[in-house]
Chains A and B, each alone.
Chain A
């Protein structure tokens, strides 16, 4: 029986992570996810809009389950960069966390000093804390070498159902956290023969899981985004997240260019006459970046905080690798 009285949520008092300023006790989704995993639900799916604190949820959840409930927790990230990021975030909130690498590999230079690094599975069984690795790495860990009680998958919409099947022996419970609106998993093989199946091996793991076991999966969602402002939310939510209503909870924040406030979304029209390879969109993008770097500043609330720096900017999020499709 589930009783909320046992739930550890009331006493959670961890400092919030650096870029999502939301402590877990005020976030009911973390509490619900913790409660579900704590009480033994075999599968929990947490759908999240962009910037709603996915990684924060993963880290909090793993730490609480490990430290307070004494469960062994494995975190499966989808890329090495994500695995490193999750480890660092977990170490920053004081979790006992280790990153699992390949045998004879070296500790990454930008790993937090508080986090441990396990090169190979030799010490894995003796490690009491949370273990982070990529899904691909977990697929190489035999169940004789290590099993966890809960496996938390970060960015689970980038995993295939086949990957999740492969993680089956690793743990009895899974928690899948991810963003349903983003790029589908890249599958390199021919998947036509399974296309008609609702739970096909090439589909995103949470979708296939919900299709295969609609009744036994606990579904949760994160209700608001801390990254996107109201305009972007109004643009994106109906288009990409029809099943996942969310709203913006971002504090007022805008970019000021030479003293004038920029709207949240700007549009620049170009006419590239020479097709997709035309240089004019790239030139316009580069020009815009320079413009923002020269005169741009971030304004939080009503006071100017600092000038835009190169590390605040990203550009040309347009292209793709064609063979990946």
Chain B
């Protein structure tokens, strides 16, 4: 919905214009329509964006005119996706329509180079010319003098000479200044070449997270976003430089090696937070301060990468190389004077930091003291973010319960100025419980050490699995405690203790599944009423394999508990089945359906069957199973239909 709301926001003053999705526009018509192509912005072709129905609806709502807004990259995206899946109908239709759009709208859209027609996308990739980058100031675009390209196709029969305004907007939006470097390599478009370049972005982008974590200069979401944006910028550059070259040719190898080196050098994992600030600076300059943060980062990285290549690509910087370098030098100089030690040696400073247990030298063991809570303040960059009321309430109850021992047992880690490094929850709970002072360990830590300590504390803490917790409760019970006293002592709800203890009634192999996380806790709890442990195990395996939801498992079990045993109903081949040990799959689906068909005088409507099937048979998704399991309610269902009809 984001595009629709973005357009709505921009057209808030003309409420009469219908703005919506293809689904919303279905069945409506207008004189003129402006369509954003479903794949605009995508670098892959996800199936929901290539659905032909939506494109068809979007392109068939107008009576007189439609303007389609396309992405220059979509052609390559489709080409590449089709190379992966040549038989995909939806992709084929998308490509056909896109080609038709490009052709119908204006055949002048295809530039020629050396006598060979190439699309502007390929031309852009080779760095020969660049597309008009997203312009924030749209008024400039409309006031620019228009080129005198005349549309030769797409004319109505009665318009023999369209005037200047009939020029396809593609020409207007795409202006191709020749790049200063005239000796461009020969161009060829090969999907596999594009594919080969993809790993570059992934390699250089996704290795950054660990090192960025050490920097801890933004939230985890932002760190992930930066990694993705860096990968995207690398991929942009890769497409633009090596995308059009024949794979593994000399030029290709040369560009590829240069790209790889540059991308590694500039990666946030190598250069740290410093390079991200640098990219942000350039991004803000090039994109304008109003653009989103993500645009700044991606654009800034693309520009930095393009300028740092051994053979810079001015088309991707978006401004003259000399101007860019001047701005860059100015920023580096200013940055160095602003913050001496860390910023001037960014690589060293960031790489010194390690994620892991803190060194004993860095955290000298200080004797705990008691400080008043009013003197402490939370760290501005606490990695946990805001604390939830529920977290604090539980801990607060625990503090009250242990008031005799002083409330808080484990001291907080604070800096000499009272900033809490570790123990935000404890501090909040102590304030809520009304404690005057709390035990603290004072440590003079550098900002980066503080963040490392915080992260270490949060990363190293692993919660007990439900089964481990249950076993711990069980030990307490064996020692003479009651469920209620355990709940009071550890400050958890009594229902939780009861639930955890119920897990111990399950088969030990089912418990292992819960412990390893394969079987969700809530699904496992549904299995408890089944006293038969082999039955529990079988259903648990079924639930894991089929990824059943809680409701599906409950349905399955309720039916199994309440229906009469399967042996009561007559069924074919019953006798020899009973002798088998263990009872395996017995009645095939085909047999059951044949039995249904054999009684044509019993009217079983489609609705009845569909209703019963959705209620019962979906519980285990039997579409691919060759036979019906003995415990499957579907068997009972079919028998019930046979008997009652």
Interface residues of A (CB under 8 A from B): 19, 49-51, 81-82, 85, 155, 158, 162, 165-166, 168, 181-184, 189-190, 192-196, 201, 227-232, 234-236, 238-240, 250, 252-255, 257-293, 296, 298, 302, 308-322, 324-325
Contact = CB atoms under 8 A, between A and B. Distances in A.
Nearest to A238: B96
Interface string B105-120: 1100100000000001
A32 B623 CA distance: 41
Contacts of B49: 276, 320
Given A275-B41, A283-B134, A182 B26 contact: yes
B487 to A, nearest CB: 39
Contact of A317 (B57, B71, B104): B57
Given A255-B65, A267-B109, A315-B11, A275 B36 contact: no
Given A183-B54, A232-B59, 11 more contacts: A261-B156, A265-B104, A266-B65, A267-B170, A270-B71, A274-B295, A276-B42, A281-B71, A289-B7, A293-B17, A312-B31
B173 A268 contact: yes
A323 to B, nearest CB: 10
Nearest to B34: A315
Interface in B55-79: 55-73
Interface in B1-26: 1-4, 6-8, 10-11, 14-23, 25-26
Nearest to A301: B158
A227 B57 CA distance: 13
A312 B28 CA distance: 11
Q: Which 4 pairs between the two chains have the least Cβ-Cβ distance?
A: A260-B165, A310-B16, A193-B623, A280-B134
Most A CB contacts (10 A, CB to CB) among B17, B26, B42, B294 go to B17
A270 B70 contact: yes
A317 B61 contact: yes
Contacts of A266: 65-68, 105, 168-169
B520 interface: no
Q: Is the interface of A mostly helix, strand, loop or mixed?
A: mixed
A85 to B, nearest CB: 8
A289 to B, nearest CB: 5
Given A181-B53, A240-B56, A274-B294, A287 B165 contact: no
B38 A286 contact: no
B218 interface: no
Contact of A235 (B4, B15, B65, B97): B97
Contacts of A181: 52-53, 56, 60
A229 B156 contact: yes
Nearest to A317: B58
A308 B610 contact: no
Contact of B73 (A194, A265, A271, A298): A271
Given A232-B62, A273-B236, A316-B4, A264 B96 contact: no
11 contacts: A165-B605, A183-B54, A235-B59, A239-B93, A272-B71, A273-B133, A276-B49, A283-B10, A284-B69, A317-B57, A318-B22
Contacts of B58: 317-318
B607 A165 contact: yes
Contact of A236 (B59, B120, B170): B59
Nearest to A139: B607
A231 B104 contact: yes
A146 to B, nearest CB: 18
B21 A320 contact: yes
Nearest to B38: A318
B128 interface: no
Nearest to A324: B23
B101 interface: yes
Contacts of B294: 274
Interface string B231-251: 010001000000000000000
A193 B622 contact: yes
B173 A183 contact: no
Contact of B60 (A19, A232, A286, A290): A232
Contacts of A231: 104, 154
Counting chain B CB atoms within 10 Å of each CB, the highest count among A252, A309, A318 belongs to A318
B51 A183 contact: yes
A33 B69 CA distance: 39
Contacts of B614: 189
B37 interface: yes
A254 B155 CA distance: 10
B298 interface: yes
Nearest to B59: A236
A263 B105 contact: yes
B32 A316 contact: no
B187 to A, nearest CB: 18
A250 B154 CA distance: 15
Contact of A261 (B43, B109, B162): B162
B258 interface: no
A241 to B, nearest CB: 8
